[in-house]
Structure 1
C-alpha cells in the first residue's frame, strides 16, 4: 500500500473514532460505561476514538448493538480491514502492529514477515501460489516490504524474534536468496532493531507448534496471534493471552542466547553464500 493509501486509511479510522465519540455522547454514555457494555475497558474506547487502536469486528458489532447505530460501525470496520493483500484473519493483525510498543514473534518454518527480503517474500508467495499472476505476486511482496517500515521508524516497537533452526536450514528461493535473507537478519541484529534467538534442533519439541505473536500497547491490554497454514486467530482474552505469554517465555528459555544465535545465523549465511558462488 502506498503512503497515500496508508494516509487515507488512517483518515478513515479517524472518522470511525470521531463518529464513535459523537454517537457515544449522543447516547449519554462515558467511555467507561460504553466499554463495560461491550466488554472492553474505557481506555480501549478512548483509543478507538483517537484512532490509536482499531477495534476488532466483534467489538464493532457490539458497539452497534449498544448504541443502536444500525450496523454503521460493523460496516466501517469491515471496509477498513478489507485489504485483499492479506488473508481475512491477518488484516486485523497488520492494523494493530503499527501501534504496538512490543512485538514478539516465534516462527517455526520461515523468516518472520516483518524481516523478509523482497526476494525471499517473492519465493514464499510463489511457493503457495504457483499459478498467480505477476500483479498478484508483486502486490503481496510490496505489502510485506511496506509492513517492515515500522522497524525504521523512530518510534519502532521493541521487536524480539525467535526462529526455529529449520528456518536457517531450509533454502527458500535458492542459496543466493536464502543467503541474502539471513544476512539481512544479521544486519538488523547488529543495528539493534531486533533481538534474535534461534530455537535449535537439540532443544526438542517447542512449546508452540505454529506461528505465535505477542503484541503490547501503551494503555491497552496485550494481544496474541496464532497461525497455521490456512487460518489464524487474534486473541485478546486475558487468560488465553497469559497462556500464550507463558509459551513464549518457554520458547525463549529453550532457545540459544542472542549472541550464539547471531553467530549461527551468520554461519548459515556464509554456507549459503559459498554454495551460491559455486553453483
Structure 2
C-alpha cells in the first residue's frame, strides 16, 4: 500500500481546513466511508476536501459536525474557506470551476458566446475588453490564462462527457475579425470531430424555447448530487436544490429536442468557418449594408 500523503496545512486556508477535518475524523476513529454515511456525498468527495482540493458544501459540513461532534465548527468555517480560495476566476465562478473539474457529465447551453473552454486567445481578449474595458494588461493576461486553463474540459480525453447547445447567432455574428473567427470556429469543429463533445445548433427559426436567458450548464457527479450553474454578465449562481435542478434538466432535454441534430450542427459550424476564411461572410455583410442603404434612400 502506498504511504499516505501528509497534508501541508500552511499551503492555503482550504488545506488547513482539510487537515483539521482529517485530524478530527481520525481522532474519532472513523473512516472516510463511515463519516459520509447517511449523506449524499461519496468517499472521494470527502477525501478531496481533506486534501484542500474541493470546497465543503454547507449540508455536508453540518453532517460532519454531527458525526464528529465538533459543535458546528466545520459548518461555521466552510464559507470563510470558500472565500479564502485564490483563483484566476471571478469569485462567483470559482466554485463552479472546482465542480467542473470533478464532473462526470456536463450539459451546456450557450446563447451568445462560444463556451469558455473552447475559446481561443483572440476571442477571449475581445470578450474581456468588451466586458471589462478598464482592466490593465496584467489583469487581461490573467483572465486569458484562466480561460485557457479550462481547455482540458473539452479538449482532453479525461474531460467529462459533454453536450453543448449553441445558438446560431454565435456563428453569424463575429466577435473577432473574419480570419480569426474562421480559426475559432474551425477549432470548435475540430474538437467536436475528435468526439470530445456533442454539439447542437439552435437555429434562428426555433422561436420560443427553454433557457431564453444567460448561459447555463448542468453538472452531474459520481459521488455527489447534480448541480446547475447559470451566469449573467457580472454574476453567477450555483443551484443545488434537487427539485429545481431536475426542472432545469427537463428543460434542457426539451432544448435539445428543438435544436438541429449533432452531425448537421457540426457541418454548419464547419461551413461557417469556411465562409469566414474565404471572405463570403464579409461579402454578404457588405451586400446587406448596401441593400439597407438603398432601402433607406429609396429608388
TM-superposed CA distance for 1:278, in Å, is 7.5
Q: Is the 8 A contact 1:14 1:50 kept in 2?
A: no
Is the alpha carbon distance of 1:158 and 1:90 closer, same or farther for their aligned partners in structure 2, counting shifts above 3 Å?
same
CA distance in 2, matches of 1:30, 1:185: 44
Output one character per residue of 1:199-246: Cα deviation in whole Å (capped at 9) or x when no partner: 111111220022110111112211111112222111111101101101
Task: Specify the alignment match of 2:175 in structure 1.
Answer: 172
1:144 match: secondary structure: helix
TM-superposed CA distance for 1:33, in Å, is 8.2
Q: How does 1:155-166 map to 2 (within 5 A)?
A: 155-166=158-169
Is the alpha carbon distance of 1:196 and 1:186 closer, same or farther for their aligned partners in structure 2, counting shifts above 3 Å?
same
TM-superposed CA distance for 1:170, in Å, is 1.1
Instruction: Report the TM-score when normalising by structure 1.
Output: 0.83
TM-superposed CA distance for 1:277, in Å, is 10
2:175 match: secondary structure: coil
Output one character per residue of 1:34-90: Cα deviation in whole Å (capped at 9) or x when no partner: 6689xx42x34751233497235644774797523384444333222x32x322211
Is the alpha carbon distance of 1:154 and 1:168 closer, same or farther for their aligned partners in structure 2, counting shifts above 3 Å?
closer
2:237 match: secondary structure: strand
Instruction: Report the TM-score when normalising by structure 2.
Output: 0.77
* Structure 2: gaps (5+ residues): 1-7, 284-299
1:218 match: secondary structure: coil
1:252 match: secondary structure: helix
Is the alpha carbon distance of 1:49 and 1:77 closer, same or farther for their aligned partners in structure 2, counting shifts above 3 Å?
farther
Q: Is the 8 A contact 1:175 1:276 kept in 2?
A: no
Structure with greater Cα Rg: 2
* Structure 1: gaps (5+ residues): 1-7
Q: Is the 8 A contact 1:183 1:269 kept in 2?
A: yes
Q: How does 1:198-277 map to 2 (within 5 A)?
A: 198-209=201-212, 210-275=214-279
Instruction: Count matched residues.
Output: 266
